[in-house]
Structure 1
Amino acid sequence: MKSDRRELLKELLLQLPLVVALVGLWALLWGSISWLTLLTGVVVAFTVTRVFYLPPVALSGRFNPYWFAVFALTFAADLFVASFQVAFQALNPRWDPHPSIVAVHMRTNSDLILSLTSMATSLVPGTLVVDVDREHSILYLHSLSTRSIDDIPKVRRHTLEYERRIALALGDANDVRAVNG
């Protein structure tokens, strides 16, 4: 009986970050933070985590605020610059796109870092993740910024820099070694 309670408590603690994120998303969707919103958010979050069970994401338990700030600032700058570049290209009648699919072999094996890197890469206009090979840690990107074959390594480097910053901010010791090695 005690071991069942401990297992349930351990499982709930592992799901806690997901529940907190879902409650936050619920509050954002309703546009207000009230006791009723938070209470219904908790009910919906627990229902979602019980009905649509996913294995818990292995968090490293490590957070580096400096590297998170570096990632956030460079991401915001990339987002700003790329938005104008893509808008200019879309409005330019002489623009001749040369998109390509680029495979990027990630250096870490963390599902969390792979997911966050693919999200950050897809959010920046001009690049979109079209496929993910989790087994081999490969992202396949559709990139608009490849005018020549020489631009492909730039796309790879840019994606690997996202991975590096995310791993330094949130990754465990193995992830940090992989991106620095």
Structure 2
Amino acid sequence: MKGGRWRDRCIAALGLTGIWVLLWGSFSALTFVGGLIIAVIVLVVFPLPAVTYAGRIHPLGTLRFLGRFLTDMVVASFQVVRLAFSFGHVPTSAIVAVKLRAPSDLGLTMTAEALSLVPGSLIVDVDRKKGVLYVHVLEVKSAEQAEQFKEDVLELERRIIRAFGSPAERRIIEEVPA
């Protein structure tokens, strides 16, 4: 096993151990050792696939992504609350297919997770080979609104790649129009 893979497994084991300790609600040597044993068993029985990360974290891009992400979460939360208290209104929804421009496994996953965390949108399917996300979206009433949502998702992907992407992904994002 390569050094990097060994390091990744140790980090995963420590992360799982930390979650175990948090679930127990108190720290003791027994919960730590028990969590470590469970983590090692889980990682041996259910090995994680190797995730290659050729990029690096770009601080300015990360700040832009986080700022806009938090804004999107707050605005969408208020929109969903408004919908919930609009008595007599039947919300409309749609499933929108969005083909990402730089669909690496990590970029696809991060974009899908960011979308799912914003209220009013939820990933229902992913075509990993084609790089397509199928997203359930609230309050889409027309083809124009669906197109606007696609553009918003591609802009989210752009922010994620600018924050965490590899140089090759960053070039693709800049070359391919939204």
Please report the TM-score for the alignment, with normalisation by the length of structure 2: 0.86
Which range moved further: 43-52 or 86-95?
43-52
Q: Which amino acid aligns with 1:144?
A: L
RMSD: 2.1
Question: Counterparts of 1:173 and 1:162 in 2: how far apart (Å)?
Answer: 18
3-state SS in 2 of match to 1:109: coil
Q: Which residue does the alignment assign to 1:153? A: 147
Which of 69, 76, 89 is matched with 1:95 structurally? 89
The answer to whether the 8 Å contact 2:126/2:132 transfers is yes
- Aligned positions, number: 175
Tell me the CA shift for residue 64 of structure 1. 1.2
State the AA in 2 paired with 1:55.
P
Is residue 37 of structure 2 the alignment partner of residue 43 of structure 1? yes
TM-score w.r.t. structure 1 length? 0.85
Q: Following superposition of structure 1 onto structure 2, how do residues 8-47 of structure 1 map, counting pairs within 5 Å?
A: 9-32=3-26, 36-47=30-41
Residue of structure 2 aligned with 1:55, choices 32, 49, 54 = 49
Aligned equivalents of 1:67, 1:34: Cα separation in 2? 39
Which of 67, 79, 89 is matched with 1:85 structurally? 79
How far the C-alpha of 1:148 sits from its partner, in A, is 1.7
Letter in 2 for 1:87: V
Task: Give the unaligned 5+ runs of structure 2.
Answer: none
* Whole-angstrom distance in 2 between the partners of 1:148 and 1:139: 19
The 5 Å alignment of 1:65-84 reads 65-84=59-78
Higher alpha-carbon deviation: 44-53 or 97-106: 44-53
Counterpart contact for 1:131–1:141, Cα < 8 Å: yes
